Copies of this chain bind each other. A is one copy, B any other.
Amino acid sequence: MKEDTYFEAVHKIITAGHMITDSINRLLKSSGSTEPQYNVLQILSIKKDEALTVDQIQDGMVQRNSNVSRIVDKLLANGLVTRIECAENRRKKDIKITKEGLEYLKELNLVVEYYHSPMMEKLEKKELESLKFLISKLTSD
Contact = CB atoms under 8 A, between A and B. Distances in A.
A59 to B, nearest CB: 11
A20 to B, nearest CB: 6
B125 A2 contact: yes
Give the interface size bracket for A toward B. 35 or more
Interface of A: 2-3, 5-10, 12-22, 62-65, 116, 119-120, 122-123, 125, 127-132, 134-140
Contacts of A127: 134, 137
Contact of A6 (B17, B128, B135): B128
A10 B20 contact: yes
Given A13-B17, A20-B14, A138-B123, A132 B62 contact: no
